Amino acid sequence: MNSVRLGIIGMGNMGKFHADYLLAGKVPRAELTAVCSTSPAKLESYKAVQIFDDGEKLIRSGAVDAVIIATPHYQHTSLGIAAFEAGVHVMVEKPISAHKADAERLIAARRKHPKLVFGAMFQFRTEPRYTKIQRLIQDGELGDVVRINWIITDWFRTEAYYASGGWRATWKGEGGGVLLNQCLHQLDTLQWLVGMPARVRGFCQIGRFHNIEVEDNVSIFMEWKNGATGVFVSSTGETPGTNRFEIVGTRGKVVLENGKLTFTRNDADMIEFSKAAKTGFAKPETTEENIPIENAEAPHAALMQNFVDAILDGSPLMVPGEEGIHSVELANVMLYSSLIQQTVELPMDSAAFEKKLQQLIADSKFQKKVVEVSGEDFTKSFHR
């Protein structure tokens, strides 16, 4: 095989975005051969490729070697499983599933087809602002991580955004709110950089700023096995909002804010310094370094290229799909802890959360009025 025939299932904002760069030839050795949407109007401009109104028909058509699943969240699992069973490679949009139990089902299906490539669209992992933080941690420059704070409250969304899709911000259509949708990239990045916490206590406000039935304002406390602590704060109702990511280690502090990455380095490990110091108010000397961060040119296309290279050449995946379960678990556990008003230990009980979600769906009295928004620049939603 010299090139990969790709099909996109779900041609809304994100599916169209993937189609545009694929048709523009931005991913060598990838050929868009089929698209699918349950909204026929979204397919009118795709004359040169095969068109389907049902994802499973596209998967079984023989027209594709691989699919990109860019539908609402719940369908990621059913379509992903159908693709694996048909011998088709899968790149799934975030979140890999709407909840952890579904993610386990998707991963179990992949396990039966180990030769198929399974990637997840977490493009932050290709971006220098995060890869440089990863390097600082992995090289031991930061020392042992002791505290993490991420305030990510610049996800401002209007009522028109929530009204733009029937699935959005509903338990039945989306499975969660700001945590599962907007913050999934940050939650993936967090666990990728510092691993999963051991326990979580969430405080989530449901429909605080919008007429929605899911969370849109959250404050979360996390604790890691080694005693490191973390606070994660997010909102879609606040503006101008803040995006400040701060990681403290025993050898210094790294801050990513306003497009700047700053590393303040301690000239000694703070714990060792504290033990050895002979006076009470002494501190290690510090030096401040501004770490240059190049703009990521086309992170989605870069990850797609990696997926294509993995299929054709066996290159290692930058984001194996299986790793997507962690951000789903974090989004779920943060919400679950809030709903049951208790601290929850990880790994969380996926069946207990699924039961809670089913109950929320069954009890829902929410009536959604859909008003489509047209002509808006969707790429403004990408977090730069």
Ligand X SMILES: NC(=O)c1ccc[n+]([C@@H]2O[C@H](COP(=O)([O-])OP(=O)(O)OC[C@H]3O[C@@H](n4cnc5c(N)ncnc54)[C@H](O)[C@@H]3O)[C@@H](O)[C@H]2O)c1
CA–CA separation, 217 and 20 (whole Å) = 33
x-marked contacts with ligand X along 269-308 as a string, rule CB under 6 A: ----------------------------------------
Determine phi and psi for 19, rounding to 5 degrees: -60, -40
Nearest to 335 by CA among 354, 321, 322: 354
The token pair at 353 is 């959360």
x-marked contacts with ligand X along 31-50 as a string, rule CB under 6 A: -----xxxx--x--------
Residue 315: CB minimum distance to ligand X, A: 21
Binding to ligand X in span 8-27, by CB under 6 A:
9-15
**Among 33, 50, 71, 327, which residue interacts with ligand X (rule: CB under 6 A)?**
71
**Among 80, 165, 177, 202, which residue interacts with ligand X (rule: CB under 6 A)?**
165
In which residue are the tokens 């990863």 written?
A: 134
Q: Closest-CB residue for ligand X?
A: 12
Determine phi and psi for 260, rounding to 5 degrees: -120, 140
Nearer to ligand X, 69 or 133 (CB): 69
- Cα atoms in the Cβ-side hemisphere of radius 13 Å centred on 306: 21
Binding to ligand X in span 116-155, by CB under 6 A:
121, 123
Contact between 209 and 236 (Cβ < 8 Å): yes
x-marked contacts with ligand X along 83-112 as a string, rule CB under 6 A: ----------xx------------------
Nearer to ligand X, 13 or 242 (CB): 13
Sheet holding 286-291, edge to edge: 286-291, 260-266, 252-257, 243-249, 145-152, 229-235, 215-223, 199-206, 344-345
Residue 211: CB minimum distance to ligand X, A: 18
CA–CA separation, 346 and 259 (whole Å) = 33
Nearer to ligand X, 74 or 221 (CB): 74
The token pair at 103 is 């993610």
Kindly list the residues in this chain that would bind ligand X in the complex (CB under 6 A).
9-15, 36-39, 42, 55, 70-73, 75, 93-94, 121, 123, 165, 181, 382
